[in-house]
Amino acid sequence: MSASERTYGRGAAILSVGIGVTGLVTFGYFALASHSLTEAEYGRITLLWSAVFITVSVLYRPVEQLLSRTIADRDARGVTGREHLRVAATIQLALGLLFVVVALALRDPIEDELLGGSGTLYTILIVAVLAYAASYFARGFLAGHHLFGLYGGLVLMEASSRFLFALAVAVSIAEGQTAVALGIAAAPIVSLAVVPWALGRRLRAPAPAAAADEDAADTEFTLSHGSGFAVAVLLIMLSEQTFLNAGPLLVKANEGARGAALAGFVFNVLLIARAPLQLFQAVQTSILPHLTRLRASGETDPFRRSVNVTLLAIAAFAGGVALVMLAIGPWLMDVVFGGDFDYERGGLVLVSIGMGLYLSAATLNQALLAHGRAPHAAAAWVGCAIAFALFLLIVDFDDRVLQVEIAFLGAAACLCALLHSLYRRA
């Protein structure tokens, strides 16, 4: 095993601990909210969460990925300068301003149709999305420089501070959906407490070795270059959030007065896929700069080995989750979330298998980004996301929950197959 692989393994392990705990804390936030609020109130919390994380993932994760890949590549090649930070900050600021303009223009439908007429929830949505602009910029900076301990600390502080708001309602220190929702806005602000430590460590770190040749030095990072990568990743993030959040949103839109409560139920089912994504974020965050460094240095075999080991680990994990859902899934979901809905064993297994395929697709996606194939990967994501949404909109199932489960599994399988084909050609 090479030194770079050992570094990647240590980084992924550190992140896995922090983000694994983060996933459990996030699960706890929703469990406490589910038991503390009415079904309609809990449904609005899940819709607020979905709206925030669709928005921030689509708008801001492209800049996180851009920084992570660019910083790793420049360090591997010995390129100095800070133009990549200025370009990324410019893109992030422009995206934040775009969000504010669109959110103000669409205030009435967002507030009345999505958030049940709550002006408070609308304000929390605005504050949370803007706060995450800084949070995701910090994440990209930390990942690119392999500061994985601080990255884990950032997301753990975010989840823990959010959890405290739900806990306050559960023990009657506070009450109502507003108190629970405030945690969604406060979390990214609190998490930025790690940034001063990150800057201090970076200032003390030695500068990268100078570029070895003229070609390596000729890597000026322009706004056009950064925007091209960011747009492709933005399309990938939009497709990703379609997979994870379109189900609850479309169920709410199509089910009338009962829509908010049923949307909360669908959200709970998809947490089987969503919660492992919290843990997988450790792998996803560390593997992109790792693979980028390997590609920049021409290490082909370690590159393939890292991808294959990650895929095998995902297969083992997803298989274990599917077995647990088959054995005790309905009982476990009832204990955690309560409510009046019945969780079907077969549907929970379908989502578990879909989760494994989806995580495999996300791994292959990072490999393609490291290879500079972002536009090709984006085309696969967009095609599968459109097919997923059309299936939910056009096909008429009596059981809307089962329809979402089948759609998620089928779309994840198609996406995994397409990205694997692109990866083999790359």
- List the structure tokens of 255: 């089910």
Task: Return per-residue pLDDT of the chain as tens, 426 residues.
Answer: 555 556 566 666 667 677 778 778 888 888 898 888 888 888 888 889 888 988 888 899 899 998 988 888 888 777 777 788 888 899 999 999 999 999 999 999 999 888 888 889 999 999 999 999 999 999 988 888 888 888 888 888 899 999 999 999 998 898 888 899 999 999 999 988 877 776 665 545 555 554 444 444 445 566 766 788 889 999 998 898 788 777 777 776 665 555 666 777 787 787 777 777 766 766 777 888 888 888 877 777 888 888 998 899 899 999 999 999 899 888 888 887 766 667 888 888 999 999 999 999 999 999 999 988 999 999 999 999 999 999 988 887 777 788 888 999 999 999 999 999 999 987
A 10 A CB-CB count for 381 gives 24
- List the structure tokens of 321: 């989750």
- Nearest-angstrom CA–CA distance, 374 and 69: 12
- Nearest-angstrom CA–CA distance, 60 and 134: 9
- Nearest-angstrom CA–CA distance, 365 and 412: 13
- Nearest-angstrom CA–CA distance, 20 and 156: 9
Give tens-digit pLDDT for 183-237: 999 999 998 887 777 666 554 555 555 444 444 444 556 676 678 888 999 999 8
Q: Which residues contact 360 (CB under 8 A, 6 or more apart)?
A: 311, 314, 315, 416, 420
- Nearest-angstrom CA–CA distance, 414 and 380: 9
- Nearest-angstrom CA–CA distance, 275 and 336: 13
Helical packing angle, 259-297 and 148-170, nearest 10°: 170
Helix (H, G, I), strand (E, B) or coil at 313: helix
**Could you give the maximum distance between any two Cα atoms of the chain, in Å?**
67
Q: Which residues contact 94 (CB under 8 A, 6 or more apart)?
A: none
Return the closest-CA partner of residue 137 out of 79, 205, 194, 213.
194
- Nearest-angstrom CA–CA distance, 384 and 422: 14
- Nearest-angstrom CA–CA distance, 375 and 298: 22
Residue 360's pLDDT is 94
- List the structure tokens of 312: 């095998």
